Homo-oligomer: A and B are copies of this chain.
Amino acid sequence: MVKVSVIGATGYTGQELVRMLARHPAVEIAGLGTQSYAQKKYSEVYPHFRGVVDLVCSEPGDPALIEKADVVFLALPHGLSGTLVAQIHAQGKKVVDLGADFRLKNRAVYKEWYKTEAPGEALLAQAVYGLPEVKREMIKKATIIANPGCYPTTVILALYPLLKEKLLDPRTIIIDSKSGVSGAGRGLNVASLYSEVNEDLKVYGLPRHRHTPEIEQELSAIAGSAIMVNFTPHLVPLTRGMMSTIYCVPETPDADKIAEVYRSYYAHEPFVRLYPPWEFPHTKWVHGTNYCDLGFSLDERTGRLVIISVIDNLTKGASGQAIQNMNLLCGLDETMGLPKLALFP
């Protein structure tokens, strides 16, 4: 059994982690750290865990959280992971960081977008960007995983095969994304109140949402040249679910070729599903699962390609992907403990 701790266990991504870890056949939960609810039973914080996870929570700094674990998950706001990762690493344990601190390789870029210092150079160099479909072999050998952001997951999976095969004009990428509210977390904020979100639709973070440099870093690495994108996130009134609608211009407008390239990259991926022509995924079809579903339409009139990429922002967009990474880190079957059937309707 793999022993795991979760630090930051009572936010929404923390809770989603615990939910899946509790059912994972090869995992034992060693500890749960939380700023807000230390010394409480987890099932007092989240009563749906009553009778399933009744463990008492610790302070996030409790050394036992690291000592007792083989793998530690960090589900913390940005800026807080650096010190903890250093400690975990020093004790020879593995860590999956769901926050942003280890995602950007360029410390100056991190500072520009996050307004705080990045982790130290040496530690940062150890971190692998944990998108299994792109970096599976590196992940298997890593000890520090920077778990991708939710928006970047939708975008990179949608564009990876096409950029890698040089099928796109890389200057033409526009990303229009829509997210459910759980992505904003459980923090108190007028903008997250039911009465504000219900029956509303808005854009936010325009034009400089922090996932932009992450998207650009990874797409540039794939393409082998510097890529800049337009990225516009929207908030829609649903709890879970995320869609990116991506516009770009293919080098040659050949739908069959595009479909074939997608198949060659993804036909055997356990958590990517491709849709046939004229069919497009709904977020509801991945609700509570670790899938990224992809559909595309080549507009013959304008020559533009439109790609639809959907995930559950808390699962493939955060905690499910983190467990997929843990499975790889620990030599387990990559799909273990990860839900594949959406809760519908």
Q: State the CA gap A243–B200 with chains docked (Å).
A: 10
Residues of B within 8 A of A243 (CB): 201-203, 234
B234 touches A178 (CB 8 A): yes
B343 touches A343 (CB 8 A): yes
Q: State the CA gap A19–B52 with chains docked (Å).
A: 22
CB of A117, distance to nearest CB on chain B (Å):
23
Q: State the CA gap A189–B195 with chains docked (Å).
A: 12
**Given A194-B192, A247-B174: A201 and B302 within 8 A (CB)?**
no
Copies in the complex: 4
Residues of B within 8 A of A343 (CB): 19, 287-288, 343
Most B-side CB within 10 Å, residue of A202, A243, A310? A202
A245 touches B236 (CB 8 A): no
A190 touches B186 (CB 8 A): yes
Which residues 165-219 of A have a CB within 8 angstroms of B?
A: 174, 176, 178, 180-182, 186, 188-190, 192-204, 206-207
By size class, the interface of chain A is 35 or more
Residues of B within 8 A of A180 (CB): 199, 201
CB of A195, distance to nearest CB on chain B (Å):
4
A283 touches B201 (CB 8 A): yes
Residues of B within 8 A of A138 (CB): none
Most B-side CB within 10 Å, residue of A19, A196, A243, A345? A345
B238 touches A201 (CB 8 A): yes
Known contacts A23-B341, A288-B343; 11 additional CB pairs below 8 A are: A12-B195, A46-B344, A51-B273, A180-B199, A194-B194, A195-B239, A198-B237, A199-B284, A201-B310, A206-B308, A236-B236
Q: Which A residues are closer than 8 A to B by beta carbons?
A: 12, 15, 19, 22-23, 46-52, 174, 176, 178, 180-182, 186, 188-190, 192-204, 206-207, 228-230, 232, 234, 236-241, 243, 245, 247, 273, 279-289, 297-299, 301-302, 304, 306, 308, 310, 340-345
